[in-house]
Amino acid sequence: QSVLTQPPSVSGAPGQRVTISCTGSSSNIGAGYDVNWYQQLPGTAPKLVIYGDTHRPSGVPDRFSGSKSGTSASLAITGLQAEDEADYYCQSQDSSLSGEVVFGGGTKLTVL
């Protein structure tokens, strides 16, 4: 059982916009801890796509954006492309676990 809750799957057609939610609580996202998002292509290591709630690392397309409000965060991908098909994970920290990193269970994005 993951500390952060994500939908198991989302899908969209090429060119469309999709969002992936990440719901936490007052001890993690709601406590003000940063939310980071990782993309994991099949058989590969995770890659950071959003950090500090809303910031994009260099090299990540501006089609990827992040937001946070209260105890939830979201990852949005616009102009969906076939190469975006992957698993996406949110990550934060939790004060009830002495600041340990915590993850969502992951969301499988399918590009139709």
Among 24, 28, 93, 109, binds other proteins (CB under 8 A): 93
Q: At 30, is the secondary structure helix, strand, or coil?
A: helix
Q: Which is nearer to other proteins, 76 or 103 (CB)?
A: 103
Tokens 């009830």 correspond to 96
Residue 102 found at the interface with other proteins (CB under 8 A): yes
Distance CA 12, CA 55 (A): 23
Among 27, 48, 67, 76, binds other proteins (CB under 8 A): 48
What's the closest the beta carbon of residue 48 comes to other proteins, in angstroms?
4
Q: Are 30 and 49 in contact (CB under 8 A)?
A: no
Short-list 13, 66, 69, CA closest to 38: 66
Q: Which is nearer to other proteins, 73 or 102 (CB)?
A: 102
Residue 46 CA, distance from chain mean position: 11
Q: At 82, is the secondary structure helix, strand, or coil?
A: helix
Q: Which is nearer to other proteins, 18 or 50 (CB)?
A: 50
Residues engaged in binding other proteins (CB under 8 A): 2, 33-34, 36, 38, 44-48, 51-52, 57, 89, 91, 93, 97, 100-106
